[in-house]
Structure 1
């Protein structure tokens, strides 16, 4: 593909080569979407990707953030039940690296029985850093139970939600978090940890200014590891929540329908780690929160 003269006249030879490599790479993941009738990139290419590893993960701190609440299949053209595998990932503006929200291999698909079922999210593993926009990539397939080829279920880099592609409409629900701190959670079963081998219950979180609930652990959800780890640690499916500096983090623990407990935790500039215990039926839980403060100086450019 020829580059426009007016955009190349002031570039050096090396810059021209890098620009040309970017143009060459983009068609590798540009596909026709029969559901929308458009030909669009299915992966990130808003910036030069000549030497950019699209599959590399990276950690960085943040200033503004978002919480991804849930990812649901609003419509399935092939009905239910379906076995879904693949990835849903986010890229933020600090480094554009992969931050996986959902990541399952073909050998470990998630069974969706109806449109009420949400994907069991295992990320993000860190808070997302956002200034004015964020990018998602969706690559989901249906696992075939016979010798048929697996079909693309949802694929692309959506410019808007809901995401209409292939055989589905997928909805990503998220909430903006201005001037955020990162809360990293750990939950242990104390009394009874030696007796109990698993935790049957549900843990959800939200902020005092936004009641959109984030599921951290649900023993009934597909793929949840209910077995307790070392020292009675609960294997949280998600353990990171972004919290506005001036708000609190609400943690709700449930054990069976009749037993629940809510706890409000707040960031303290003088204390980065907070621990507290609570009774939940026959369980005694220890909740530990590690707060990571906003760091405005560590923004990373491509």
Structure 2
């Protein structure tokens, strides 16, 4: 009887997340439903955090680390049936194999909507609380609305589920573009597979330069194999950007919209030399780029190789310190 009741409740839950998409002219699941929803809370947030510092990783624990992770590079609305600009709010949720619970990538209410002016504009994604562990499948839930003049005028804009299959892309470092065409738009989610990942958490401090005005420019990061697809950490052009309203903290640190990047270990053999002093032919490398203002030619690129944790560079009027905390990706995957 208990199993039968759970099955019935699961079917009721699936019905509740089934909606008619007028663009596809079909009924679709708008949320994750691979588990029995009688025993799974779709709204529970993941509490898993980063793993221990990389230099503290024990040799006996290496086999517990995920074989791959995913970096979310960008999320764009490449087609809008209602044109541009549009004021967008709602949620984008990622679910990985650590626990398949909610990790928010985008979470805005209607009073904090983001204006999208063209197909090239990126939604301002937030930093995930940890790196993703993905050996098989990762799920993304999109639920975006257009803000109208009043709440009654709000309309569904993009809604549905994107499934990223890690197995198909494990050996390739090329970014993968997933498209979701639904309701009144087509959304492009660009992500990249990261083999044998470790985590890099980035912090940027202004050592010399004006701290009483926003840092005007762009900060991006990338890893080996993705030189043409940067993860935007910060962007401000004097009016708008992918950054927090509090652009510079009292200690001179620049508030990054995103600060975590999964970095590949070039070969699994190198994992056994992380705590050794000998130089390796292949390094664990993170690149960080600073662009002054809107001039793409005025750029400064810094390279950090594990176990290096900080470096200082000059960009425009600023002297900047870049710090990186190297951690393991959370490795208690079930």
Q: TM-score, normalising length from structure 1? A: 0.87
Deviation at 1:89? 1.3
Map 1:11-50 onto structure 2 (within 5 A): 13-50=1-38
The runs of 5 or more residues in structure 1 that have no matched partner are 1-12
Which residue does 2:69 correspond to in 1?
65
The answer to whether 1:215 aligns with 2:232 is yes
Which residue does 1:250 correspond to in 2?
287
- Paired with 1:147 and 1:251, the residues of 2 have a C-alpha distance of 41
Check the 8 A contact 2:85/2:115 in 1, yes or no.
yes
The answer to whether 1:174 aligns with 2:191 is yes
SS of residue matched to 1:23: helix
Map 1:228-267 onto structure 2 (within 5 A): 228-246=248-266, 247-256=284-293, 257=295, 258-267=297-306
Deviation at 1:287? 0.9
Over 3 Å counting, the alpha-carbon distance change for 1:294 and 1:121 in structure 2 is: closer
Which residue does 1:299 correspond to in 2?
333
Within the candidate set 317, 328, 332, 1:282 is matched to: 317
Within the candidate set 243, 250, 267, 1:224 is matched to: 243
Check the 8 A contact 2:158/2:187 in 1, yes or no.
yes
Which residue does 1:205 correspond to in 2?
221
Which residue does 1:196 correspond to in 2?
212
Measured on the aligned residues, the alpha-carbon RMSD in Å equals 2.0
The one-character-per-residue Cα deviations of 1:229-253 (angstroms, maximum 9, x if unpaired) are 1311111000010110124111101
Over 3 Å counting, the alpha-carbon distance change for 1:162 and 1:231 in structure 2 is: same
Deviation at 1:124? 2.4
Q: Is 286-295 or 236-245 further displaced after alignment?
A: 286-295
- Paired with 1:52 and 1:262, the residues of 2 have a C-alpha distance of 45
Q: Is 161-170 or 56-65 further displaced after alignment?
A: 56-65
- Paired with 1:48 and 1:158, the residues of 2 have a C-alpha distance of 19
Deviation at 1:295? 5.5
Deviation at 1:147? 6.7
Instruction: State the number of aligned residues.
Output: 282
SS of residue matched to 1:53: coil
Check the 8 A contact 1:80/1:114 in 2, yes or no.
yes
The one-character-per-residue Cα deviations of 1:259-292 (angstroms, maximum 9, x if unpaired) are 3211111233xxxx71211111211111111111
Deviation at 1:223? 5.4
- Paired with 1:295 and 1:155, the residues of 2 have a C-alpha distance of 29
The runs of 5 or more residues in structure 2 that have no matched partner are 52-64, 165-177, 267-283
- Paired with 1:230 and 1:162, the residues of 2 have a C-alpha distance of 41
Over 3 Å counting, the alpha-carbon distance change for 1:228 and 1:118 in structure 2 is: same
Map 1:93-132 onto structure 2 (within 5 A): 93-132=97-136
